[in-house]
Structure 1
Amino acid sequence: MTGAGRCTITASQAGDADFAPAPAIARAFQISGVILQAHFDVGADGFTYVDDAFRDTHQPAYASGTWIVSGGFRGGGLRVTLGGIDSNAITGMSGGWAKTFNLTAPTRITLYVRGSLTQSPYYEADEKSELLVRLDGALIGASPSDFLAQIVGDGNTGGAITTGWRLYAVNLGTLSAGTHTLVLGGYNSKKTDATESTTVLIDDVLLTENTAGAQAAVASLDFERFKENIRILSGSGDRTQGSASYTTASLWLENQLRAAGYVVQHHAYTYLGQPRTSIYVTKVGTLFPDQMYIVSAHLDGRGGGGAANDDASGCSLVLESALALAGLPTAVSVRFIFWNNEETGLNGSTAYVNERASQQGVESPPGSGIYPEPRWLGMIQHDQILYDHGLPPQHDQIPAADLDVEYQASSTWATQSLQLANALRAGNQTYSTNYPAQVGSNMNYTDSVPFQNYTATVSVRDNQRVAEIGNGSNPYWHQPTDLYTAYSEADFRLGFNAVQMTLGTVAELAGAMTAPAQP
C-alpha cells in the first residue's frame, strides 16, 4: 500500500481436476491519510523533549519542556519554557518536542498544529521570541519567514504579549519515503533578567497526506451538472435582491444543499429597512471545527436577463464544491456562502463581516465544542467565471483564455492573501484540466472586499475586474443578454476549470480525507 484512498482486495481460487473454482470475494476499505496525530490528553503521545532544538543554540540550562495535564487548547498539551531563572544576560535559547515518522512512498504532507506563544513583560525591543517547526533539520515557517509566529519585546512597557491559541497549517511539500523527524517548539534570542521568559504551548498535531481527499473530491465533479445548475438558476430570472426570481432561485438552491445532508442557515440583515438574508452551509471540521475557510459567490443579479455569468456561474461553483465535500471528512471547517445584495454595494457580505468578525472562534455554549463562527483562515469569492473572449471581446473564446485570481495588494492581509492566491494557482496546475490561472493584485468590487483586512482574501474571475471587466471585456455584463444560451461549451469549460481549481485547493487546505481522523 502506497497511499491513502479506497482499496479493494479480491480473493479467488482456481479450480482443478477435483474441485470447482471458488467464487471471487471482494472487500473494499478506506486507507486513512493520517500519518501522525497527537492531542496530548494522556501524555506526550510519543514526543520527546530536546534542549537546544533550533538556531544552533547552546543554553540548555535556560530551556525546559513539560507535558501538562491541563492548559492545552483543550485538556493536555506540551510546554516549552525559555529564559527566566536569573538576571544573567543570555543569548540564544531554544527547546522543542521531537517525534519521528515513516513514509512508505513519496507523499505530499500537510502539518496542522495549534500553538500559543507568550512573551513575559520587560523584554526589550532587541529581544524576540518565536514559535518554530523543524523537519529533518530544516526550519519550516510561514513563507517568506522561517517561523510560525514571532513576538518582539516592547521595551519594558505594558504586560505580557501573546499570540493566543492559533491553528497553523503548513504544506511540507512532497517528502521522500523513509524516516523523518518533526520538532515543534520555540526560540528566545535574548533575555537580561529573571523576569524575562518565553512560553510556547503546543496541542493538536496532525500530519496528513493532502492529495487523496482532494483528488476524490475533484473526481466526483460533473461538467453537465455544473452547466445545469447555471441553466436552472438563470432560468428563474436575474434574481434581483428582494424579487420573486431571487426567492425561486434561493429555494431551489437550499433544496440541493439539504438533499446533500447540510443544515441550511441564514445570515439576516436589513437593506433600506427591508429584511434580507444570505444563505450558508458549513462542513464542520472533524479535528479543528473552530477554524474555517469560506468559499462564496453572490446569488443576486441584475440586468433583466438571467445573470448567468454574473453570478449563477459562481453559485454553481460553490454548490458543486459543497456537494463534492459533503461525503468527505475535513480536518478544518469549510463554509459555503451565497451572498445577497452584492449588486447593491456588497451589503450582504458587509453586514456579515460587521457582525461576525468579533465572533470568530468563540465556543458557544462554552465547553460544547460548537463554534457558530469559526475563525477565518481564508476567504475565496467567485464572481463571473465563464467568459474570456479578450479585450476588445471577440466572438469566440480566445486561445489565451485563463482564470484570474486576484488579491488586494493594499490590504492589511496582503502577504497572506498572495499566499492564498498562489495556492490556488498551484491547485490550478494540479487539478484544472484545460485552462491556466494567473494572479493579479487589484481585487475589487465583489464580496471578498469586506474581508480583506480580516483574513487572507481572494476573488476568482474570468477576467481582471478593474483592468478588463470594467473596460468592457464582457458585453453581456449586467445586460438582458446575460443568458445561459449566450455561452459556448468552451465558456462553460473555463468555468468548470475554476471549480476544479477551487475545490482541489480548498480540499487540500482543509485537510479533506478519504477516511476520518479521530478527534
Structure 2
Amino acid sequence: MALALCLAGVPLPALTLEAPAPADPIATLVKQLELERYKATIKGLTQFGDRRQGTERNRRALDWIEAWLKANGCMNTERLQYEYTEPTKRNPAPPQPARAGGPAGQGGSTLFGQRAPTSVNTDPNAQPDEKLRALNAEPTPEGTSMRENVYCTKIGNTRPDEMYIVGAHMDGIGWGEAANDNGSGTALVMELARIFSQPGVETERSIRFILWNNEETGLHGASAYVAQRRELQGIESPKGSGKYPEPKWLGMVQHDMMMFDHGMPVMQRDAQGKPLLDAKGQPRYAPPREQRAEADVNIEFQSTSKHAEGAAKLAWHFRAANDKYATDYPAAVGFHMTNTDSVPFMDWAPAISLRENERGMQIGAGWNPHWHQPSDLFSSYSDKDFLLGLNAAQTTLAAIAELVGARVKR
C-alpha cells in the first residue's frame, strides 16, 4: 500500500523516532559504588590499627587518606590544624551490667528491653593479636599538641559560594582496628569523594569531604573546624577571584558507625538451652550473630537545634533518596542526634547524622558488642554488614547529588 501511494504521488507522513530518555545522572553515580571497593577502603584504614588521635599511627593514617584522595582525583586536599590538650588522667565509665528494661542512659532516649554491657576497652591485654597489640601500644602524649583534620572539596560550577559538608571521624579507640567505628564512615566519605571527583562529573554547588580527628575525645576536631571557619562562610578571597575558601554551609552530614544492626541483645544460652551467666551470676545478653532482616540506615537530626526545621527537611530528603536509590536496606528518620561530629554544626546549619543504630536508644544499650572493643576488626563483619554501610553510601551520594545539581557529561 505504501509503495502504491508513493508511486501515485501521494506524500507519506513523516517518520518520527522517539529520542531515548536521558540517563538519570544520579543512578549513574550510585552505580559507581561497589561493595568490594568499599570493603577494600575500610581494609586499607585498618592497617593503622585503632588510629588513636595524637599517635604516629594516627598521623600515618592521615597521610594515607590524603594520598588516597589525591590518587582518586580529589587533588585540592587541605588540612586544618588545631591545638588539643590531652587530659593527664582518664576515668573511663565502668561497664554497664546487662538488665531487662529501664532507660538506655544515652541522650535522653529509653529502651524497654534487654541491654548488653557497654564500655571502652583500655586494657591492651584484651587484644589477643600480638601484632595488633604492638601497633596500638603507643599512647597519646600528655599536654598540648597539634592535631589535624584532612579534607578535599568538589568546587561547584555555578554556585561555588555554597556547599554541603560530608564528614566522618577517622580516629578510634579500644585496641582493635576501628573497622566499624569509624573505618566504615571514613571509607564511605572517601568513596563519595572519589566518585564526585571523576572526569565528567559536574555539580552546581560545592561539596566538602572531610575526615575529622579527635571525635573520641569529645568532637574536638569538628568543634575546631566550626570555631575557625564559621565566620568565613561565603566570603570571596581574594576579592574578585570567584574563589570561596569557605563556602556557605547549606548542610552538614556526618557518618559514624555504619555496618552493624543485628538487633536487640538476647539472652545467651548453652547447647542445652540453659542461660549463660556472667561473673556475677547474672544472665549474659548479646546481639544476634547475623544482620537482622529489619536492619536500616538511621538518619538523625536534633529537634532542639537552632536549625531543626532545616535539618528535618534534610533528613527526610535523605530518606526519599534512600527509597529511590538504595538497593538493599531502608532508612528511618529520628529527631534525637547526639554524640557525633554533626553536633558542633547544628546551631550554624542544618545538620544530620547517618548511623547503623539510633545513637541514644540502641548503641547506648549495647546493640553493637564491638563498639570501642578489641573485636572491632575487619574480620568481625560479614558482607551483610558491609552492605549496610554501602547502602548508607548510596543514600548520601544520591541525596547530595540531587542537592548540588550533579550531572555527568558524556
Paired residue type of 1:264: T
Aligned counterparts, 1:94-243, within 5 A: 212-243=24-55
Paired residue type of 1:283: K
Residue 492 (1) aligns with residue 363 (2): no
Residue 361 (1) aligns with residue 229 (2): no
Shift of 1:105: 9.5
Q: Secondary structure at the match of 2:376?
A: coil
Q: Secondary structure at the match of 2:176?
A: coil
Shift of 1:106: 12
The equivalent of 1:378 in structure 2 is 251
Q: How many residues align?
A: 311
- Which digits, 9 at most, give the CA deviation of each residue in 1:397-434, with x for residues without a partner? 11111110000000010010010000110110111100
The equivalent of 2:79 in structure 1 is 266
Q: Write the distance in 1 (CA, Å) between the matches of 2:59 and 2:227.
A: 25
Q: Secondary structure at the match of 2:229?
A: helix
- Which digits, 9 at most, give the CA deviation of each residue in 1:90-117, with x for residues without a partner? xxxxxxxxxxxxxx9999xxxxxxxxxx
Q: Secondary structure at the match of 1:365?
A: coil
Paired residue type of 2:239: P
Q: Write the distance in 1 (CA, Å) between the matches of 2:153 and 2:237.
A: 16
Higher strand share: 1
Q: Write the distance in 2 (CA, Å) between the matches of 1:515 and 1:274.
A: 45
Shift of 1:458: 0.3
Contact in 2 for aligned 1:408/1:443 (Cα 8 Å): yes
Paired residue type of 2:28: A
Q: Which among 136, 149, 167 is matched to residue 278 of structure 1?
A: 149
Contact in 2 for aligned 1:246/1:300 (Cα 8 Å): yes
Q: Write the distance in 1 (CA, Å) between the matches of 2:262 and 2:34.
A: 24
Shift of 1:355: 1.2
TM-score, scaled to structure 2: 0.74
Q: Write the distance in 2 (CA, Å) between the matches of 1:274 and 1:418.
A: 37
Q: Which among 299, 305, 308 is matched to residue 176 of structure 2?
A: 305
- Which digits, 9 at most, give the CA deviation of each residue in 1:241-296, with x for residues without a partner? 01122122222211111112321100111001211110000000000000000000
Q: Write the distance in 2 (CA, Å) between the matches of 1:216 and 1:331.
A: 17
Q: Write the distance in 2 (CA, Å) between the matches of 1:250 and 1:223.
A: 23
The equivalent of 1:335 in structure 2 is 208
The equivalent of 1:40 in structure 2 is none
Residue 348 (1) aligns with residue 221 (2): yes
Q: Secondary structure at the match of 2:319?
A: helix
The equivalent of 2:125 in structure 1 is none
Paired residue type of 1:296: G
Residue 406 (1) aligns with residue 300 (2): yes
Cα distance change on mapping 1:330 and 1:473 into 2, 3 Å: same
Aligned-residue RMSD, C-alpha: 1.6
Q: Which among 246, 254, 277 is matched to residue 58 of structure 2?
A: 246
Aligned counterparts, 1:473-484, within 5 A: 473-484=367-378
Paired residue type of 1:362: I
Q: Write the distance in 1 (CA, Å) between the matches of 2:19 and 2:365.
A: 50
Structure 2 residue ranges without an equivalent (≥5)? 1-17, 86-143, 266-286
Structure 1 residue ranges without an equivalent (≥5)? 1-103, 108-208
Higher helix share: 2
Q: Write the distance in 1 (CA, Å) between the matches of 2:375 and 2:392.
A: 23
The equivalent of 1:314 in structure 2 is 185
Which runs of structure 1 show a deviation greater than 4 angstroms over 4 or more consecutive aligned residues? 104-107
The equivalent of 1:149 in structure 2 is none
Paired residue type of 2:376: D
The equivalent of 1:324 in structure 2 is 195
- Which digits, 9 at most, give the CA deviation of each residue in 1:4-61, with x for residues without a partner? xxxxxxxxxxxxxxxxxxxxxxxxxxxxxxxxxxxxxxxxxxxxxxxxxxxxxxxxxx
Paired residue type of 2:72: A
Q: Secondary structure at the match of 2:226?
A: helix
- Which digits, 9 at most, give the CA deviation of each residue in 1:348-369, with x for residues without a partner? 1001101111110000111110
Greater Rg by CA: 1
Cα distance change on mapping 1:105 and 1:352 into 2, 3 Å: farther
The equivalent of 2:8 in structure 1 is none
Shift of 1:212: 2.7
Contact in 2 for aligned 1:286/1:332 (Cα 8 Å): yes
Paired residue type of 1:298: H
The equivalent of 2:138 in structure 1 is none
Shift of 1:297: 0.2
The equivalent of 1:292 in structure 2 is 163
Paired residue type of 1:424: F
